[in-house]
Amino acid sequence: MKGFSMYIGGISIKNKIFISNILIIVVFISTQSYFANTISQKAIIEKEINNSSRELVLIQNNLQTLVSTIEDYSKILASDYRLQNELYNDLLLNTKHEDSKPVGGLNNLSMKKTLSETISNIVEPNTKIKAVSILTSNHHWVDVGFADNAYASRIFGDGYGPEDRYYLPVWTSLIKFGFLYEGEDSVFAVSKTVIHKDTGKMIGRIFLYVKETTIASIYEEGENKGGDFYIVDSAGRIISSQNKAKLYRDFKEAVSISLPETGKDTTFTQGSGSEEMLIFTHRFEPLKWTIVSAIPMKNISSGRKEINQLILGVGAACLLLALIVSFLLSRSITRHIFQLAKTMRQIRSGQMQVRSPYQSKDEIGYLSEGFNNLMDRMEALMAENVEKQRTKAEIEFKLLQSQVKPHFLYNTVETIISLIKLGLGKQAIQAAQYMANFYKISLSKGDDIIPIGEEMRLTESYLEIQQLRYVEYMEYTMEIDHDIMSYSIPKLTLQPIVENAIYHGLKLKKEKGIIRISGRRNGNQLEIEIYDNGAGMHKNQIKAIMDGTSVPDEINGFGIRSVSNRIRMLYGERYGLQVESEYGVYTKIIVVLPLRYH
């Protein structure tokens, strides 16, 4: 979580606003698209359920009309007086000769003609009935045209069964039946017992044949979204289908759909993924048939493609518009913040005069105005502080000079007097010359910046005088590169450091010590090193002197700190003094200066 917070914190405000807007819009569009897709899918499925239910009702009504029509034709034919007369005469004729071989009266041409004329009115092309067969009371099949009597005899037999006692038409399941000129075909047979209207005797039975394609044409004319229709009998066999290869097969095995056993109209789904099907069942009670409609869900959902394309198109357009608006909005908000941040970076790099140019009445404008006012105030305070520091440094330097000169003058005069008393006139003259040289250079016509060569002569004069006084415990060397002599240095930079090395380094050591002064150029800066092998200092002493946290009771600490502050004030923080010391061993102070000619 911390890493994520750090990652978020590293993103710019512009990108945060842009990403936040995009995330909100994407979530909104995705949610809206999801619900729109879900609602549209639900609406399409409900619409398809309603359409399919109405279509099944229409198929049932058309099937009921067809069944009723076929049964009506069977009743009309069974009650036709010409058919009844022929069948009754055949019954009487064969009754008179019952002790002999039955007479095939219906085989004569006149009777065939009469029956053909009777039947021709109720078969194709006048009706949906393909052909008609007649079984007489004497168990003869009458050949009256298209129906193959051999098939009829083989399928229905030559006798009468229990169903012949019913006077209503009886439908068979789907059967294979042969026709004289067309061969076999799948048909439904509708049988009707012929009862003589005067005597009430059963004088025969008629069979009307309806092709399966006639039944199938009822639902093939409808719009079923690429699905399949089936009619299943009470035994679960397919008796009508658009795919004729599935006829006569068990419905569950052929289609892999399990029908509920409730016997009621149902709607359900089966399968999953691309195999999911929407199943409708409608019960046709007159014949105990079940009408089944199976529609693949992918076909139903095909209508959603246009809706989804529309949703995707609108979503893409909205997202593109949102991207543009979010970019422009985030840019308009953050552009001025970036300008203000750029101004801050310039100020941080040292360009203190730079100000934010943005002016407005909005929040960023107030922030920009406040920032400019703050920087103006800060610049004024910094200028005031610099002036105070310069004044302080000058006061410290003047104080240092005022302390060094009388003190040094007094000691030097005492040394000269002592040399004269000892009869060392030559040494006394040298001391006086060194003193004169020291004060000549230290005055330097009021200049605070002098060449390094002058500073070295001033320091050498000071060391020569001090060596006359402390010859028993000090000596010195000076190794300054000739190339740096013309570069500038603040006056009296080295003298306070050398004085500190004598009084607080060498004098505290019991044996004779050395002060070594060396100077060189190092890249783009000068380095002057003052080394002594005196008493050394602890780290806390060095820190106290450089930070000014201690209150020095002598001139040494004040002088070193004053020199360091003066150099930093003149040239910047990268210049000044570097102090290195080991207690009881040595002290080394490096003066770092810029390359500037006097």
pLDDT given at position 100: 43
pLDDT given at position 208: 92
pLDDT given at position 553: 43
C-alpha span between 540 and 545 (Å, rounded): 9
Q: Tell me which architecture the domain covering 79-209 has in CATH.
A: 2-Layer Sandwich (3.30)
Residue type for position 95? T
Long-range contacts made by residues 303-307, C-beta under 8 angstroms, separation at least 24?
303/44, 304/37, 304/40, 304/41, 304/44, 307/36, 307/37, 307/40
- CA-nearest of 527, 476, 540 to 506 is 476
> DSSP secondary-structure letter at 259?
P
pLDDT given at position 3: 55
DSSP code string of 279-303 = EEEEEEGGGTEEEEEEEEHHHHTHH
Helix boundaries (H) for 202-250: 212-220
pLDDT given at position 213: 92
Q: Is 374 exposed, middle or buried (0-12, 13-18, 19+ CB in 10 A)?
A: exposed
Same fold, 224-300 and 382-594: no
pLDDT given at position 348: 76
Task: Give residue for tokens 């069944």.
Answer: 67
> DSSP secondary-structure letter at 506?
I
Supply 381's token pair.
Answer: 């305070």
Q: How many CB atoms lie within 10 A of CB 134?
A: 25
Is the Cβ–Cβ distance between 500 and 558 less than 8 Å?
no
> DSSP secondary-structure letter at 125?
T
pLDDT given at position 438: 82
C-alpha span between 496 and 555 (Å, rounded): 8
Q: Side by side, which strands form the sheet with 576-582?
A: 474-480, 513-522, 525-532, 586-594, 576-582
pLDDT tens series, the chain, 598 aa = 555 555 555 566 667 676 777 778 778 777 777 777 777 777 777 777 788 788 888 888 999 999 999 999 999 888 888 888 888 887 887 665 554 444 444 445 666 777 778 888 888 888 889 999 888 888 888 766 688 888 888 888 877 765 555 678 999 999 999 988 888 999 999 999 999 888 888 888 999 999 999 999 888 765 555 678 899 998 889 999 988 999 999 998 888 888 887 778 888 888 776 677 888 888 898 899 999 988 887 776 666 666 667 777 777 787 788 778 777 777 777 777 777 777 777 777 777 777 777 677 777 777 777 777 877 788 778 777 776 666 666 655 554 554 455 667 777 777 788 778 878 778 888 878 888 888 787 776 667 889 999 999 999 988 888 888 887 778 999 999 999 999 999 988 998 899 888 888 888 887 889 999 999 999 999 999 999 998 888 888 888 777 765 544 444 466 788 888 888 888 888 899 999 999 989 999 999 999 988 7
Is the Cβ–Cβ distance between 234 and 243 less than 8 Å?
no
**Domain coordinates of the chain in residue numbers?**
2-60+302-343, 79-209, 224-300, 382-594
pLDDT given at position 175: 93
C-alpha span between 534 and 531 (Å, rounded): 9
pLDDT given at position 484: 92
Is the Cβ–Cβ distance between 486 and 525 less than 8 Å?
no
E-assigned strand segments in 419-545: 449-451, 474-480, 488-490, 513-522, 525-532
Is the Cβ–Cβ distance between 463 and 408 less than 8 Å?
no
CATH of domain 382-594: 3.30.565.10
Exposed e or buried b per residue across 418-446, where buried means at least 16 C-beta atoms within 10 angstroms of its C-beta: ebeeeeeeebbebbbebbebbeebbebee
**Model-level pTM?**
0.51
pLDDT given at position 338: 73
pLDDT given at position 422: 78
C-alpha span between 261 and 490 (Å, rounded): 114
Q: Is 572 exposed, middle or buried (0-12, 13-18, 19+ CB in 10 A)?
A: exposed
- CATH: 3.40.50.1980, 3.30.450.20, 1.10.260.40, 3.40.50.1100. Which one for 224-300? 3.30.450.20
Task: Give residue for tokens 């394609």.
Answer: 213
> DSSP secondary-structure letter at 504?
I
Q: Cα 176–180–183 angle (5° rounding)?
A: 45
C-alpha span between 172 and 156 (Å, rounded): 10
Q: Is 591 exposed, middle or buried (0-12, 13-18, 19+ CB in 10 A)?
A: buried
Task: Give residue for tokens 């399919």.
Answer: 52
Supply 211's token pair.
Answer: 């092709």
Q: What are the residues facing 476 on neighbouring strands?
A: 515
C-alpha span between 225 and 239 (Å, rounded): 22
